[in-house]
Structure 1
Amino acid sequence: MTFTLRNFASPRRLGALAGLVALGSVFSASASAASIALPEKYKAQGHLTIAADATYAPMEFIAKDGKTVVGADVDLGKAIAKELGVKADFVNASFDSIIPALQSGKYDMSMSSFTITKKREEVVDFVSYMTAGTSFYVKSKGGPKVNGLADLCGMTVAVEKGTTQADDAAKQGKECVAAGKKPVTVSVFPDQNGANLAIASGRAQVGMADSPVAAWIVEESRGQFKLTGEPYNSAPYGIAIPKNSGLAEPVLAALKKVMASGEYAKILHKWGITQGAIKDPAINPAAQ
């Protein structure tokens, strides 16, 4: 049995565009019409190289042509780059490799559904741009009922390498053992598609992913999967930027302009993720 995500926009709409467009007025006073001061390095090169793990629809995934990275993060990244007066060049990269690559200067920034944590903020800067929790999904027929992390004891869980879900499942496994229960078997895969295949083939019982991604996986599975339980630990997504690059403040300013123009609301509505909208983007909010 195989499972693949269909690479086109879902008809799912999780919120009304009208409500989100009102967010634009929040930023009308704060988003200056003046041009944003971008460090000369980025002006000279004329583009931002942006890394994304393109297996995480609807946030970032590969289009039907088999090579183009598309998704909500891509659309937002292009809108931000436009406000900065440069182009956005998205590059597909494995999720766990992105932060080290940012530290080495390989990429200018990353938009790849990064949950902002204090640990991650120690090595890169983040500009928050939306929120998401974690959801559980299982096979529609015969899949277990999972209401929360405590229900994972004795189960095999499929997760993507380097994600907060991988950390959560491993931590819960230790708690299960400490409580005298069966451990959690955590199967870690290089990308989200591998985790999906493990569940479809019966090698894993439960999948964990960010809530908008899990909802997309279920919808695009043609009835193979279903959500179970409720999302937990809602937290901000962040645009990851190398420390001391001088790029965090300009990106924040550009994001505020994208919000003020109404483009932010349109992009979230297009991809059915309006429930993740925020009003107050910030730099390194986990450390505050």
Structure 2
Amino acid sequence: MTKLLPQEIRSAGVLQIGGPTAISPYVQVNGKGEVSGVIVELMTAVGAKLGVPVKFNNIAYSALIPALQAGRVDVGIGTFTDTLARQEQVDFVDYILTKMVLMGRPETEEKIKKVDDLCGQTVASPSGTTSEIVMKAQAEKCKAESKSALNILIVPTPAEAQLQVETGRAATFVQAYGVGIGIAASGQNLKILGQPFRPEYHGAGVKKGNKQLADALMAGFKAIMDDGSYAKILEKYQLASLAMKEPVYNGTSTKPLAAE
């Protein structure tokens, strides 16, 4: 399947992957600089099908699309949500489902159960994320309904958003469902508030118009889904409920998910 890849990637002999590396269980890095996680295993398996090794580069979400556009990396990953706005700059090969969850300290659980409960609260959000989009939309809704203002603390990374909540500077932060489950189970005194919401796709992003690479990734993901390795990886990380039967190209516009 190597012939499916663009010539420049075949010549380089490596698929350069970019995204944040501190979003357990999706991608994390240890003290030796070794990456692990569900997306690392999935992309490594896809690379093996395509006949090239993969190299992971730590890039914040706010810098990821510019890195793709400049050709510094070939593929953007992480909890990289396929949105209509992002599709104007990036094409997505969607390979796993996601939902959002609100997370906060246990004492917050009674007063915050859904996004509409955030008026009058301070929330933390990483820059350049879907969380930021959701929080800004809710802030406008609070204003339009003449409710108390929603204050948003914009921080560079998801870990820093979590820290704002742990230290009491913010009441809640938004996290991907799979990450939230891990945080809630890890004894960090944080809980999922209310029910998951906003079903979406997480995708592997490529430079807009790079259809050859997108098609190659579609074939790679289809191959690991068909041979059962995809399901085994998701089961290992307790994310089987987020599995897809086949990859989808720009799914938010071509195969939108029903709202819950």
- Per the TM superposition, whether the score is higher than 0.5 is yes
Tell me how far apart the structure 1 counterparts of residues 197 and 239 of structure 2 sit (CA, whole Å). Answer: 17
The 3 A distance-change label for structure 1 pair 203 and 143 is: farther
- Select which of 240, 254, 265 maps to 2:231: 265
- After TM superposition, which residue ranges in structure 1, 4 or more long, deviate above 4 angstroms? none
- The aligned runs of 1:27-66 (5 Å cut-off) are 37-63=4-30, 65-66=31-32
Unaligned runs of 5+ in 1: 1-33
The 3 A distance-change label for structure 1 pair 270 and 45 is: same
- Select which of 242, 252, 268 maps to 2:207: 242
Is it true that 1:211 corresponds to 2:211 in the alignment? no
Tell me how far apart the structure 2 counterparts of residues 230 and 66 of structure 1 sit (CA, whole Å). Answer: 37
Tell me how far apart the structure 1 counterparts of residues 48 and 171 of structure 2 sit (CA, whole Å). Answer: 43
RMSD after superposition:
1.5
| More divergent stretch after superposition (247-256 vs 278-287) | 278-287
The 3 A distance-change label for structure 1 pair 35 and 247 is: closer
Q: What is the match of residue 156 of structure 1?
A: 122
Q: Report the CA distance between 1:35 and its aligned residue.
A: 6.3
TM-score (norm 1): 0.84
Unaligned runs of 5+ in 2: 255-260
Q: Report the CA distance between 1:170 and its aligned residue.
A: 1.1
CA contact (8 A) 1:161 1:189 kept: yes
The 3 A distance-change label for structure 1 pair 60 and 169 is: same
Aligned residues with identical type, % of pairs? 30
- SS of the equivalent of 1:257 reads helix
- SS of the equivalent of 2:5 reads coil
Q: Deviations over 1:218-276 (max 9, x none)?
A: 222x1511111111110111100112332000110011001111110111111111111
> Which amino acid is 2:200 matched to?
A
TM-score (norm 2): 0.93
Q: Deviations over 1:43-93 (max 9, x none)?
A: 111110100201211111222x25222211111110111100000001111
Tell me how far apart the structure 2 counterparts of residues 226 and 285 of structure 1 sit (CA, whole Å). Answer: 30
Tell me how far apart the structure 1 counterparts of residues 3 and 194 of structure 2 sit (CA, whole Å). Answer: 44
CA contact (8 A) 2:19 2:77 kept: yes
The 3 A distance-change label for structure 1 pair 196 and 35 is: closer
Q: What is the match of residue 60 of structure 2?
A: 94
The 3 A distance-change label for structure 1 pair 142 and 237 is: closer
Q: What is the match of residue 190 of structure 2?
A: 225
Q: What is the match of residue 258 of structure 2?
A: none
How many corresponding residue pairs? 253
- SS of the equivalent of 2:147 reads coil
Q: Which has the higher contact order (CA 8 A, sep 6+)?
A: 1
- SS of the equivalent of 1:107 reads coil
- SS of the equivalent of 1:132 reads strand
> Which amino acid is 1:206 matched to?
T
- SS of the equivalent of 2:238 reads coil
Is it true that 1:103 corresponds to 2:69 in the alignment? yes
- SS of the equivalent of 1:115 reads coil
